[in-house]
Amino acid sequence: MTLSKTPLTAADNAESDTDREGGGLEGGRKRATINDIARLAGVSKKTVSRVINQSPFVRDETRERIEAVIAEWGYAPDPQARGLAFRRSFLIGMIYDNPNPQYVVNMQLGLLDGIRGSGFELVVHPCDRSSPTFLLDVRTFVERQKLFGVVLPPSVSEDERVAKLLREIGCEYIRIASVELDKPEHMIVGHDRLGSAAMGAHLVELGHKKIGFITGLPSFRSSHERRGGFEDALIEGGLKLDPDYVVQGAYTFESGLACGEALLAMTPRPTAIFAGNDEMAAGVLQAARRAGLQVPADLTVVGFDDFQIAQAVWPPLTTIHIPTREVGRIAAEKLIGAAAREKRDPNSTIPYLVVRESSGPPPSV
């Protein structure tokens, strides 16, 4: 009978010159090597390497014993040696083209939550999808940093050219989008359509019939999903979204202000305005104040995302909660799970309605 051996990975073979010398902690405490940890834990160096690299193929009791020895001796693998072994850095990237700074900050915080304690670090790369050098810039960023993998928020996540490029150069990736665009192991799905449908149902229930809607940028899939879900809910409630009361914003406060002023100048004036994100809804609140209107007595204003601004304005916004920071954490954990060859179930997040003071019934005639 022939016994097969589990092949060693590059990480299993990664060791410093001190490791190869074997070290030895007797006769005075000094910097521990991977060989020392293996000897003290009574396991092979390969098993220690698997624990360090978060492999799932180690029994819990063995993992706990090795981690206890590592903690006792303060052992830390040489990041440079690990990077050479893998022929890549222990970095994950975030590549984004998003006009909303709060989204970017919340996503970064979530990614940092997800990689905390893993040995990975985060680097970010703002880009412009409309640039003629967009794909070249992405490739240069990934290859220059030797990234293990990247997280792609909207709208970069919606660009199939980027996913194809990453597959070609062998870079792991996670796409965050409002709909399923890839294999489950590469996706976090936000289901924006469900959120906007919930907002539509809320406005119908309040009794609004003349409703204005401010869309986001057409280059974002979320803009179309949010409008589609809203229209579905209105139809279910026996209403129809009047295209004359639909204006295009840019997911910014300034565009919300301009769109709000345009909608409030219409006759008849809408009794409610649904802005495609909270930044634009805050702009509508400003437009209402300039027009001498009280919210919600004269006008209901609602948003989407439930970012910090939703509770910083007055009145606080009724909105759709999207757990952006949690999405970032899940995305990072999925990416690191791929590093350890873990198989995880596909993840998605379900948005939900948060009712605050900015929504109410239409004014009585």
**CATH code where residue 116 lies:** 3.40.50.2300
116 and 135: one domain? yes
Q: Are the beta carbons of 157 and 181 closer than 8 angstroms?
A: yes
- Parent domain of 35: 10-78
Residue 5: inside a domain, yes or no?
Answer: no
Q: Where is pLDDT greater, at 81 or 332?
A: 332
Cα 270 to Cα 246: distance, rounded to the nearest angstrom: 11
Q: What is the mean pLDDT of residues 294-321?
A: 97
Average pLDDT over residues 102-125: 92
Same-domain check for residues 151 and 203: no
Same domain, 177 and 90: yes
Q: What is the rounded CA–CA span in Å between residue 251 and residue 263?
A: 16
* Residues 254 and 341 reside in one and the same domain: no
Q: Same domain, yes or no, for 237 and 262?
A: yes
CATH number at residue 25: 1.10.260.40
180 and 217, same domain (yes or no): no
Structure confidence by residue, pLDDT tens digits, 160-177: 999 999 999 889 999 999
Beta strands 352-354 and 319-321 are: antiparallel
Q: How many Å apart are CA 344 and CA 245, to the nearest integer?
A: 44
Q: Is the pLDDT of residue 112 over 60?
A: yes
Answer yes or no: is 142 within a domain.
yes
89 lies in the same domain as 56: no
Name the pLDDT band for 79 (thresholds 50, 70, 90).
Answer: low
Q: Residue 43: inside a domain, yes or no?
A: yes
Same domain, 172 and 98: yes
Q: 327-349 b/e with 16+ CB inside 10 Å = b? A: bbbbbbbbbbbbbeeeeeeebeb
Residue 251: per-residue pLDDT: 93
Contacts of 54 (CB under 8 A, 6+ apart): 118, 336, 339, 340
> Are residue 280 and residue 136 in the same domain, yes or no?
no
Rounded to whole angstroms, the Cα distance separating 106 from 324 reads: 6
Of the candidate ranges 88-92, 131-135, 193-197, 345-349, the one whose mean pLDDT is the lowest:
345-349
Q: Give domain status of residue 365, yes or no.
A: no
Tell me, yes or no, whether 135 lies in a domain: yes
Contacts of 300 (CB under 8 A, 6+ apart): 203, 206, 208, 271, 272, 273, 318, 358, 359, 360, 362
**Coil, strand, or helix at residue 14?**
coil
Of residues 18 and 362, more confidently modeled: 362
Same domain, 145 and 249: no
Residue 35 inside a domain? The answer is yes
Last residue of a domain, one of 50, 78, 106: 78
Task: Give the three-class secondary structure for 52.
Answer: helix
The number of distinct structural domains making up the chain is 3
State pLDDT tens for residues 11-33.
Answer: 444 444 334 434 455 545 567 88
Q: Which of 52-56, 57-61, 303-307, 324-328 has the lowest mean pLDDT?
A: 52-56
**72: confidence class by pLDDT, cuts 50, 70, 90:** confident
Average confidence (pLDDT) over 203-212:
97
CA 335, 146, 103, 257 dihedral sign is negative
Q: Examine the fold and report which residue of 58, 78, 98 is the final residue of a domain before the chain moves on.
A: 78
Smallest CA-to-CA distance from 225 within 270, 258, 179, 187 is with 179
pTM for this predicted structure: 0.73
Task: Measure the CA–CA gap between 348 and 194, rounded to whole angstroms.
Answer: 12
State whether 204 and 306 are in the same domain: yes
pLDDT of 242: 96
Average pLDDT, the chain: 86
308's tokens: 């910090």
- Are residue 103 and residue 42 in the same domain, yes or no? no
Residue 170 near residue 194, CB atoms below 8 Å: no
pLDDT at 81: 53
Question: Is residue 255 situated within a structural domain?
Answer: yes
- pLDDT tens readout for residues 132-154: 899 999 999 998 888 999 999 99
CA separation for the pair 334, 151 (Å, rounded): 10
For residue 45, being part of any structural domain is answered with yes
- Is the pLDDT at 262 greater than 70? The verdict is yes
